[in-house]
Amino acid sequence: MPNPCDLCGETDSLDIPGDPSGKIRICRGCGFVHVKERRSLAEVAAAWTDIYRSGGYDPEWPGVKARLFYVAEWLDQTIGLRGKSVLDIGAGNGQFLAYCRDRGADPIGLDPDRDNVAKINARGITCIDGWASDDRLAPNGQFDIVTLNWTLENTADCLAVLRYAKRCLSPGGYVVVATGSRILVPFKKPLKSYLPLDPNYPHDTHCFRWSITSLARAFKAVGLMPIDNGNDFRDRDEMILAAWAPETDPYWTIPDEAAESVHNHFSSWQTCFP
């Protein structure tokens, strides 16, 4: 069923130019780009299992490995990985965890796909077969760094997943989200490669499409505060933002993105780089 905006609660929305399905919407209240009609968390996760097994996505693709290498290196240079405990939520085949281990971290994965869990365990890295609600991890608050690499957009409830990541942190720890940089930045790929052309495509396998502002708003909604302005996402395919959990709720304000500006961005994208 249609959902209100996850970040501001607004129900009214604009279409996305170039989206033939009409299912990806721009929140009229804050400019957040999201899919309003979604299946349950379990159904979305099951759909991703099918995507993995059909070859629709493969963590062994060179581009996927390259972006994970970049995130690990950015983390190592920005926060430092040596001696840190790292939890990767939605760990895939464990490639990112291996990069973290190479840099001296103590990594562990969480993934609902049993095939992925087996692959990670075969690397000699512990992985839990479970969801971003698994109480085997969260109550201990034991991790220095909790990462979500191209995962937060593929959940049915982004704020619930961020709250879980926050619960997993040790005092002074960081939640780190890496995703594609596509909204209100220079165009980096054809629009048809970003928006599925098949109107019957299951859009809720990619429910959220982040800008730096909407990601910061999501952090604030769960009581997290970014440590800086992220990586050089305007120039790169990857966008990374790290946040910590202050003892009191963050008091800082984040301006909404004008829905019309986001709509115009997609309209220009459709015209300039279809």
Query: What is the rounded end-to-end Cα distance, in angstroms, of the chain?
Result: 30
Q: What confidence category does residue 191 fall into, taking pLDDT thresholds of 50, 70 and 90?
A: very high
Q: How far is CA 61 from the centre of its chain?
A: 19
Q: How far is CA 161 from the centre of its chain?
A: 10
Closest residue by Cα to residue 147 from 169, 131, 124, 128? 169
* Residue 140 within any structural domain of the chain: yes
* Residue 17 within any structural domain of the chain: no
Distance CA 249, CA 221 (A): 9
- Of residues 180 and 141, more confidence is placed in 180
Percent residues over pLDDT 90 in the chain? 74
Query: Is 29 within 8 Å of 10 (Cβ atoms)?
Result: yes
Task: List the domain range (segments joined by +) for residue 239.
Answer: 60-253
pLDDT digits (tens, 9 = 90+) for 102-135: 999 999 999 999 999 999 999 999 999 988 887 7
How many domains does one find in the chain? 1
* Residue 273 within any structural domain of the chain: no
* Residue 155 within any structural domain of the chain: yes
Continuous segment of H or E residues that includes residue 147: strand 143-149
Distance CA 34, CA 153 (A): 9
Q: What is the CATH number of the domain that holds 153?
A: 3.40.50.150
Query: Is 107 within 8 Å of 125 (Cβ atoms)?
Result: yes
Q: What is the reported pLDDT for 62?
A: 96
pLDDT digits (tens, 9 = 90+) for 68-111: 999 999 999 999 999 999 999 999 999 999 999 999 999 999 99
Query: Is 176 within 8 Å of 77 (Cβ atoms)?
Result: no
Rg, Å, the chain Cα set: 18
In one-letter notation, the amino acid at residue 78 is T
* Residue 197 within any structural domain of the chain: yes
pLDDT digits (tens, 9 = 90+) for 31-77: 999 999 888 878 888 888 888 888 888 889 999 999 999 999 999 99
Closest residue by Cα to residue 86 from 4, 17, 169? 169
* Residue 113 within any structural domain of the chain: yes
* Residue 115 within any structural domain of the chain: yes
* Residue 105 within any structural domain of the chain: yes
